[in-house]
Amino acid sequence: MPRTRYILISVILLLIPVLELHGQDEKQNYGKTPDELVPYGKFQKAYKNFFDEPQLFTGAGREKPEPTGLSEVRIGFLGPLEGSVMVPQGIQMLQGATLAVEEANERGGYKGIPFRILAHNDVGLWGAAANEVVKMDDEKVWAFLGTIDDINSHVALRVTLKLEIPMVNTGDPDPTLTETRIPWLIRCIADDRQSSYALVNYIYRVKRHSRVAVMRADNRYGRVGVMEFRDAALRIGYPLVLEVRFADGDTDFTTQIERMINSSPDAVLLWGNAKETALIIKQMRKMGMEQPIYGSDRLMSPDLLKIAGNDAEGLVTTCQYNPAADNSKLKAFQKNYYERFEMEPDVFAAHAYDGMNLIIESIQIAGLNRTLIRDVLTDLKTFQGYQGVTGEIIFDATWNDIGPVWMSRVRDGKFEFFPTPPMTTDSSAKR
């Protein structure tokens, strides 16, 4: 009997590490990709998973002493402030960042030195972002926040690599931005990959549509976003029946809508900015299209409700956070933002507020040294699970925010928010 008991105890002790290992969270696919949507996942395992480990930065710079005699701590900002269709969103982003800086200065700034934002305009012209980042380097900023435009984000990032300035992106959902593995960037907003997975699951599995037509903006935002949706839909057996494009500023979409009618879809996905998509929705309904409409995150805008009116009823979109969440930090931000700027904060303002607070806290921890600030931002420990006004921020190995994506539905002229349904299968999907 004692021998049996001894053997049993030995076996239990040997199994404890195994049980603990299985009790841990299972490793997630890159970018929170559902198992069913992993590229080539049904055919073979990847020889190498490229994005499993963060890219190291082994360069110099950590040895530089902190400067003395400063009258302000400068932080850069890059966003569309004039000459762009995204100016309203750029202004919101700047205001969210400004509120974070003003609150930090009320708390004493950095060792009694006030923070100051140096704002630069992202005009959407090829190469212009590079010049603005160079100007920020000349201004001796310690880090910068920006931007929204996909192309300018990529251009700014390349200059960031050369000049070694920490960059926090809070407005560009292009999945390829963090895939550059440039170790001077973090992004604290969910990307289009996650939004596309949510839409594919909801449209094809939850609502059981099978023939989806897509109408998208003829720019990088539309092209890359729909690419993720199209590829994910194809992996589960649903090729798009049609993909047509429109340009920013267009007002007549008759030709594209006629092509959609001829394709006989049972649902439509719109991917673009709020103004054009609102006009598309109105013209679709006027031309007799009664199919359910789904959309990208930028459709979740007061401008869409104002322009589309009753025709927007039933529209379902994604959203990178829940602005109606029961979150005391979020409610305080919304109250303070409205009192300061006399408008409701949008998704760009909220994420810019979180992103600027990450920069400020990194400076408080690391001191005035760009490389050390970069180390704090990218260490995957200090801010992992950071509770911002947009909810929990979770970084993957590319420093991309893979926190929860939400969905919204227009009902009675307002957006209602609900969690993204879990990935389902054909047999378990319900209407």
The answer on pLDDT for 48 being more than 80 is no
- In the CATH scheme, what is the code of domain 73-190+325-400? 3.40.50.2300
DSSP string, 131-169: HHHHHHHHTT-S-EEE--SHHHHHHHHHHHHHHT--EEE
Q: Tell me whether the CATH fold assigned to 73-190+325-400 matches the one assigned to 193-319+407-419.
A: yes
Q: What is the mean pLDDT of the chain?
A: 91
Query: Quick one: which H or E segment has residue 270?
Result: strand 267-271
- Single out the residue of 85, 102, 21 nearest to residue 303, CA to CA: 85
Q: What is the pLDDT of residue 429?
A: 46
- In the CATH scheme, what is the code of domain 193-319+407-419? 3.40.50.2300
The answer on pLDDT for 23 being more than 50 is no
C-alpha 398/C-alpha 49 separation (Å) is: 12
Pairing state between β 167-169 and 185-187: parallel
Q: Write the CB contacts of 96 (distance below 8 Å, at least 6 apart in sequence).
A: 337, 345, 348, 349, 350, 351, 352, 353, 356
| Sequence ranges of the domains in the chain | 73-190+325-400, 193-319+407-419
The answer on pLDDT for 415 being more than 50 is yes
DSSP string, 366-426: H-S-HHHHHHHHHSSSSSTTEEETTEEE-B-TTSBB-PPPEEEEEETTEEEEEEPPPP--T
Q: What is the pLDDT of residue 9?
A: 45
Against a cut of 0.75, is the pTM above it?
yes
The answer on pLDDT for 24 being more than 50 is no
The answer on pLDDT for 13 being more than 50 is no
The answer on pLDDT for 44 being more than 90 is no
Stretch 330-344: mean pLDDT, rounded?
Answer: 97
C-alpha angle 226-127-299 in degrees, rounded to nearest 5? 30
